């Protein structure tokens, strides 16, 4: 099996989503909590020098002044916000190989701020700054070795760069080392012990930061199956999270206070997130029903929730569901509940059959189960019927039929159905006004829908209903891929491959 660790290099885009001009900066919005980890040069920063003196020094080709002036234009500090001028001055400092300028220029390429999105250009700038000893850049290069997107994955090299960065007192590198050790990575013999890593964390000096860093390190392997111990600990680990941590895990961290449920209990957050299309919430619910934790044990509802999570891209849910299918107990329960007219059971068995996980019932029986559930106004069955007609699975492909079923679910309040209809409208649009559909995708994406995040990413990548913006598309794909959605990961990989240079260092060799 192909083994892939997907470790995200996450720089949340807080830029305007519209056209750039030379009179305003697209880099920062004060109402967005996550900002780029731009850094100051480790030199006198001109912070007390009048603006005209700074310009004078920049015009004399002082790289520190050029870099400082560029940053000031970028964040509107003493100068009007202007992305184009920011790029001009930072680029002049880059031409003189100022490490901090190299790093910040890489950040701009990585996110498409004022320059076309290009992670390969970003990497080359990070590497130069890393060789000059800049801890932030060393960390960025280390992250490049943690997946097969930019360069070939090499966790030993990643570890070495993280170690250099951590020694330079860069906190995200300290956290990365902890996560590598926690993940089961076996470092070289000269590695830091866990105690040494913890001691590093106590002495982190973040005085070089202009903005709070926001690198995230998350491990995803879409092919490797979790071991038994990890499966058993999964639910307990999630339930131990504090409300704030759980909101982030469920994809609810972009919600405004007005939209967030007032009750912050675990059960309330799970219910809200599940209704919004969070595969994490559905996965947790499935595991809770399977094990009888939080809810009374119910194998049918466990399968029901696993199936819904799997349909939203959670391959872990598919693994758990497949494990349940190895026992006859689930099918015994399904038969009993279907005989009593239970729509959840009908949906679960039909979905399991449509996915090819089981062949005990015929295609026609599966369709009959779904149709009976639809007659009972069962929303997931309406969505499933739409998916079958959209893909031509078990039935003849018919997009209009798919829309009809999704509209039925939408009228009953389904957010997932709203997302599927909105994206279909956007993808099929020629000249009609689809601003309302884009607004739906944005709103539901903020509410935690990984499906909406992936769909919106595609819209920004292709310029469908919005101005094309590769940087924003990458951010949305990363958000969804970090949450375990393989469709988003594949879109991310495709975007890298479409831009990949011919240089040998960027050729990816995937090992089965």
Question: What is the domain range of residue 258?
Answer: 225-324
Greater pLDDT, 286 or 198: 286
Strand partners, 314: 485
Name the most confidently modeled range: 235-249, 255-269, 355-369.
Answer: 355-369
Greater pLDDT, 74 or 512: 74
Confidence at 53, pLDDT banded by 50, 70, 90: confident
When pLDDT is averaged across residues 21-28 and rounded to a whole number, the result is: 32
Q: How far apart are CA 14 and CA 21, in angstroms?
A: 17
What is the model's pLDDT at position 256? 66
When pLDDT is averaged across residues 123-147 and rounded to a whole number, the result is: 93
- Within-domain flag for 510: yes
Same domain, 77 and 209: yes
Same domain, 213 and 272: no
Residue 44 has pLDDT above 80, yes or no: no
Residue 228: CB partners within 8 Å, gap ≥ 6?
A: none
What is the model's pLDDT at position 181? 84
Q: How far apart are CA 158 and CA 175, in angstroms?
A: 13
Structure tokens at 112: 């498409």
- Within-domain flag for 467: yes
Same domain, 79 and 27: yes
Same domain, 77 and 207: yes
Q: Mean pLDDT lowest for which of 26-35, 284-293, 368-377?
A: 26-35
What is the model's pLDDT at position 196? 54
What is the model's pLDDT at position 376? 96
- Within-domain flag for 26: yes
CA separation, residue 165 to residues 10, 131, 135, 292 (Å): 17, 11, 4, 44
331-362 per-position pLDDT tens digit: 999 999 999 999 999 999 998 988 888 889 99
Q: How far apart are CA 432 and CA 455, in angstroms?
A: 19
What is the model's pLDDT at position 452? 93
229-245 per-position pLDDT tens digit: 555 676 777 777 777 77
- Within-domain flag for 458: yes
Residue 221 has pLDDT above 50, yes or no: no
Q: Mean pLDDT lowest for which of 18-22, 324-328, 507-511?
A: 18-22
Confidence at 84, pLDDT banded by 50, 70, 90: very high
When pLDDT is averaged across residues 200-219 and rounded to a whole number, the result is: 39
Q: How far apart are CA 233 and CA 228, in angstroms?
A: 9
Same domain, 431 and 488: yes
CATH classification of the domain holding 116:
1.25.40.10
Q: Is 41 helix (H, G, I), strand (E, B) or coil?
A: coil
Same domain, 113 and 30: yes
Q: Is 454 helix (H, G, I), strand (E, B) or coil?
A: helix
Same domain, 250 and 206: no
74 in Cβ contact with 38 (< 8 Å) = yes
What is the model's pLDDT at position 358? 86
The gap between the terminal CA atoms of the chain, to the nearest Å, is 5
Q: Mean pLDDT lowest for which of 216-230, 319-333, 433-447?
A: 216-230
Structure tokens at 335: 């038969």
Which residue, among 165, 176, 174, 127, has the nearest Cα to 9 in the 3D structure? 176
Q: Mean pLDDT lowest for which of 27-31, 64-68, 96-100, 213-217?
A: 27-31
Q: How far apart are CA 231 and CA 443, in angstroms?
A: 33
pTM of the model: 0.77
Same domain, 294 and 209: no
Residue 363 has pLDDT above 50, yes or no: yes
Quick one: CA dihedral 201, 475, 90, 46, positive or negative?
A: negative
What is the model's pLDDT at position 408? 97
Total of domains in the chain: 3
Same domain, 216 and 242: no
405-427 per-position pLDDT tens digit: 999 999 999 999 999 999 999 98
Greater pLDDT, 436 or 43: 436
Residue 156 has pLDDT above 70, yes or no: yes
Same domain, 212 and 283: no
When pLDDT is averaged across residues 459-470 and rounded to a whole number, the result is: 93
Same domain, 273 and 214: no
Q: How far apart are CA 19 and CA 376, in angstroms?
A: 48
With b for 16 or more beta-carbon neighbours within 10 A and e for fewer, the 14-38 pattern comes to bbbeeebeeeebbbbeeeeebbbbb
Question: Max Cα separation, the chain?
Answer: 84
Which residue, among 411, 485, 274, has the nearest Cα to 421 in the 3D structure? 411
Q: What percent of the chain has pLDDT over 90?
A: 49
DSSP letters along 284-305, please? HHHHHHHHTSSS---HHHHHHH
DSSP letters along 305-371, please? HHHHHHHTTBHHHHHHHHHHTTSHHHHHHHHHHHHTT-HHHHHHHHHHHHTTS--SS-HHHHHHHHH
Strands (E), 20-67: none
How buried is residue 80: exposed, middle or buried, by Cβ count under 10 Å (0-12/13-18/19+)? Answer: exposed
**Vertex 102, ends 96 and 105: CA angle to 5°?**
120
Greater pLDDT, 485 or 154: 154
If residue 387 lies in a helix (H) or strand (E), which one and from where to where? Answer: helix 379-391
Same domain, 69 and 35: yes
């Amino acid at each position: 099996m192909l083994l892939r660790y997907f470790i995200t290099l996450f720089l949340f885009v807080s830029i305007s989503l519209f056209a750039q001009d030379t009179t305003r900066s697209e880099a920062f919005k004060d109402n967005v909590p996550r900002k780029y980890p731009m850094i100051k040069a480790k030199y006198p920063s001109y912070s007390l020098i009048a603006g005209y003196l700074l310009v004078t020094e920049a015009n004399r080709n002082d790289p520190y002044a050029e870099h400082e002036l560029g940053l000031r234009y970028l964040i509107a500090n003493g100068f009007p916000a202007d992305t184009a001028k920011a790029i001009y001055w930072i680029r002049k400092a880059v031409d003189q190989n100022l490490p901090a300028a190299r790093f910040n220029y890489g950040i701009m390429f990585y996110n498409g701020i004022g320059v076309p999105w290009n992670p390969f250009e970003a990497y080359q700038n990070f590497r130069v700054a890393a060789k000059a000893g800049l801890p932030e850049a060393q960390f960025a290069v280390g992250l490049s070795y943690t997946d097969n997107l930019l360069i070939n994955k090499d966790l030993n090299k990643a570890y070495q760069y993280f170690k250099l960065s951590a020694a330079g007192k860069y906190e995200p590198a300290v956290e990365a080392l902890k996560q590598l050790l926690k993940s089961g990575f076996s470092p070289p013999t000269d590695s830091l012990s866990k105690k040494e890593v913890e001691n590093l964390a106590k002495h982190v000096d973040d005085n070089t930061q202009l903005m709070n860093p926001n690198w995230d390190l998350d491990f995803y392997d879409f092919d490797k199956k979790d071991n038994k111990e990890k499966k058993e600990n999964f639910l307990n680990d999630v339930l131990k999270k504090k409300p704030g941590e759980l909101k982030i895990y469920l994809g609810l961290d972009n919600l405004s206070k007005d939209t967030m449920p007032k009750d912050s209990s675990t059960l309330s957050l799970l219910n809200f997130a599940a209704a919004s299309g969070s595969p994490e919430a559905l996965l947790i619910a499935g595991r809770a029903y399977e094990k009888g934790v939080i809810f009374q044990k119910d194998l049918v509802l466990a399968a029901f929730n696993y199936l819904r999570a799997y349909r939203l891209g959670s391959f872990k849910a598919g693994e758990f569901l497949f494990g349940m299918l190895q026992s006859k107990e689930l099918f015994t329960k399904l038969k009993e509940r279907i005989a009593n007219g239970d729509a959840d059971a009908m949906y679960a068995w039909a979905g399991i059959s449509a996915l090819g996980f089981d062949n005990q019932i015929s295609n026609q029986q599966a369709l009959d189960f779904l149709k009976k559930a639809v007659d009972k106004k069962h929303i997931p069955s309406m969505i499933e019927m739409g998916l079958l007609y959209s893909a031509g699975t078990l039935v003849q492909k018919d997009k209009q039929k798919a829309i009809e079923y999704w509209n039925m679910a939408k009228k009953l309040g389904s957010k997932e159905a709203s997302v599927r209809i909105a994206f279909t409208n956007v993808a099929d649009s020629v000249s009609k006004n689809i601003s309302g559909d884009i607004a739906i995708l944005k709103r539901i994406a903020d509410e935690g829908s990984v499906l909406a995040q992936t769909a919106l990413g595609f819209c920004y990548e292709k310029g469908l209903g919005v101005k094309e913006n590769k940087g924003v598309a990458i951010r949305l794909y990363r958000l969804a891929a970090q949450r375990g959605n393989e469709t988003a990961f594949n879109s991310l990989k495709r975007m890298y491959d479409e831009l990949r240079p011919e240089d040998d260092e960027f050729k990816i060799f995937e090992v089965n």
